[in-house]
Amino acid sequence: MSISRRDEIVIAATELFAQHGYHGVGMRAIADAVGIRGSSLYHHFPSKTELLYAIAHDYNRAFIESQLADLSPNPTYAARVRKLVYDHIIYFHKHRLEEAVGLRELQELRANAPEHYTDIQTSRRSYQDGLERLIVDGRETGEFECEDPHLVVLAVLGMVNSVNDWYRDRGRMSIVEVAEAYADITVNRILGAR
């Protein structure tokens, strides 16, 4: 069971878009990367915009599916947040190219395919709300201690999403160590878990 040509195209386009930006890559360059001609791409995608959407959407859906795994087996809110942050960093590292494209070209999608933009934005938002809920609930039980849960969520997400800007596989830490350290900072420090 090998990957389909369509998937080959998505993978190649993701890499090129991540490197040169959406407008910096032509259809012919994408086609070259998979060994076909530019016009042949239109057998798999109706337009360049839809190809971009396929990248953002495939990636986003996979993330939601993987990340909305049930956190309730974890006994405490601290353990739940810890697992969420940890998994988030591991997942975003594995899919860092898709993420880079998805974030960077979001407004491109907004301008050219508003309905695709809103559905991606909606699922992002629900993820953010889920984390905020965890923090609010954990605060009510006295497990966490922080002033402004909404702001804290934004700070934490900004922190974890920035890992891919500097992390390199051959550095002094493995991605697992980084994920553990960030989860520690989030739960023990920022959330002031007891």
Partner DNA sequence: GCCATAGCCTAACGAACGTTCGACCGGTGG
Partner DNA sequence: CCACCGGTCGAACGTTCGTTAGGCTATGGC
**Binding-site ranges for DNA (CB under 7 A):** 5, 23, 25-29, 31, 35-44, 46-49
Q: CA nearest 56: which of 6, 108, 4? A: 108
**Which of the residues 93 through 132 are near a copy of itself (CB under 8 A)?**
104-105, 107-108, 111
How far is Cα 120 from Cα 168, in angstroms, rounded to an integer? 28
Contact in structure between 191 and 138 (CB atoms under 8 Å): yes
47 binds, among a copy of itself, DNA, none (CB under 5 to 8 A by kind): DNA
Establish if 151 lies at the interface with a copy of itself (CB under 8 A): yes
Distance set, CA 44 to CA 68, 105, 118, 164, 194 (Å): 30, 21, 24, 30, 54
Neighbours of 151 (CB within 10 A): 11
| Binding of residue 16 to a copy of itself (CB under 8 A) | no
Nearer to DNA, 14 or 186 (CB): 14
Contacts with a copy of itself, residue ranges (CB under 8 A): 19-24, 104-105, 107-108, 111, 147-148, 151-152, 154-163, 165-166, 173, 178, 181-182, 184-185, 189-190, 192
